[in-house]
Amino acid sequence: MSALVASIYRGITYRGAEGQWAWILHRASGLGIVLFLYMHIVSIFIAAIGPEPYEWVHKYLYTSPPAKLLEIFLGFGVIYHALNGMRIIIIDFFPALGKYQRTIVRIELVILVIILIPYAIATLGSGF
Amino acid sequence: MRIQMRIRRFNPEADSKPWWGEYWVDVEESDRVLDALHQVKWYQDGTLTLRRSCAHGICGSDAMVINGRNALACKVLMQDVGDVCQVEPLRSMPLIKDLVVDMEPFFAKYRAVLPYLINDDLPAEGERYQSQEDRARYDDTTKCILCAACTTSCPSFWANEDYIGPAAIVQAHRFIFDNRDAAADLRLRVLNDVDGVWRCRTVFNCVQACPREIDVTRAIGEVKLALMNGLED
């Protein structure tokens, strides 16, 4: 455990560049997606308890403003994780592109924003 | 110009944990961090312990964390560090004293990749001919000075000190892609280990840290591809 804490401390105090932050965000978004999957399984399981609690969770809880915000975070996590994963695959198969990695990260962030904005508008605008 | 030096100090005989020593030094803009450390050691506190040898970026002795980033103290100019210069020993290496770390685990990984020419066949005519193109194939990785700046900047290495590390992979790359060498298979076997080349997460901290400007991640990527597809020639 102390080794884990030490390695996290090193990660956040080392002044790395785009690659390091892209990697940290990749890990964080991956963890976030796994946590969402657990939450998803639990909320679906509520149907086994009865229709009323299921209705309440999906009609009222999930449409509340904090849940909407979390949903945008989820979209960010999934889109970022997918795009960054593609960046890693591209660099793994074409190592010579590594010298353009800073540009590639920036292009990735632009694509992320382009996809995320309509997603966020659609999420905030929809009832459910 | 007057600059504050914050230096991570640790004396195993007196301290239970490292602490920050603060010193003020007068330096020229063109001075290096190593000159400022010398000022502290020579005129303020002779107990400050650090490694350095050539002081010209070739021997690789004085790699340390300068303002949060790995670099050679003899290559960073004071004009580039700001008003406060913070110096720490390399991370994830056993700390001996102040800025000196135990390099032995690092060199053990270096030895593990067999960093020397292996070829039992005698050369055809007096010497092993190599074309300029074949020499250029691994030119970048011949520049490594084994300072450990890359390996100790790598998050995979911070998380798992058994990871062979970028420096050893760079050294292996230098011989794997040398067409006079005949032992690429032995090296690739070492690098295909669970703590070998696959622990690289293409974070690029090594490329940023390398004082010799080696494209380390590219070398690692080429070794990964050689493991997947085999060597081309």
Residues 73-102 of A with CB under 8 A from B: 88, 91-96, 98-99, 101
Q: What is the ipTM of this complex?
A: 0.86
Residue B138 sits in the same domain as residue B171: yes
Buried b (16+ CB within 10 A) or exposed e, B96-118: ebbbbbebebbeebbebbbbeee
**CA within 13 Å, CB half, B128:** 14
Residue B29 sits in the same domain as residue B113: no
pLDDT number for residue A56: 87
pLDDT number for residue B219: 97
Given B75, B101, B127, the domain boundary residue is: B101
Please give the order of strands across the beta sheet that includes B2-9. Answer: B19-26, B2-9, B84-88, B63-66, B69-72
Residue B115 sits in the same domain as residue B209: yes
Residue B28 sits in the same domain as residue B125: no
Residue B79 sits in the same domain as residue B122: no
pLDDT number for residue B176: 97
- Is B109 an interface residue toward A (CB < 8 Å)? no
Is domain A17-125 annotated with CATH 2.40.170.20?
no
The CATH number of residue B179's host domain is 1.10.1060.10
Q: Which domain holds residue B10?
A: 2-101
pLDDT number for residue B233: 53
Residue B143 sits in the same domain as residue B39: no
Considering CB atoms only, which of B68, B159, B203 is closest to A15? B68
Residue B74 sits in the same domain as residue B153: no
Q: How far is B203 from chain A (nearest CA, A)?
A: 5
Q: Consecutive sets of 10 residues in chain B, 233 residues long: mean pLDDT of each?
A: 96 96 96 97 97 96 97 97 95 96 98 96 87 97 97 95 97 97 96 96 96 97 95 68
pLDDT number for residue B44: 98
* Total structural domains within chain B: 2
Given B101, B131, B165, the domain boundary residue is: B101
| Domain ranges, ordered by start, for chain A | 17-125
Residue B225 sits in the same domain as residue B116: yes
Residue B96 sits in the same domain as residue B135: no
- Note the pLDDT tens digit of each residue in A102-116: 999 999 999 999 999
Q: Is the pLDDT of residue A128 over 80?
A: no
Residue B13 sits in the same domain as residue B84: yes
**Residues on chain B touching A4 (C-beta within 8 angstroms):** 159
- Note the pLDDT tens digit of each residue in A33-91: 999 999 999 989 998 998 999 988 888 888 888 888 999 999 999 999 999 999 999 99
Q: Which residue of A has its CA nearest to B226?
A: A93
pLDDT number for residue A13: 87
Residue B97 sits in the same domain as residue B108: no
- Is B221 an interface residue toward A (CB < 8 Å)? yes
Under an 8 A CB cutoff, do A23 and B218 touch? Answer: no
Residue B116 sits in the same domain as residue B29: no
- State the pTM of this model: 0.92
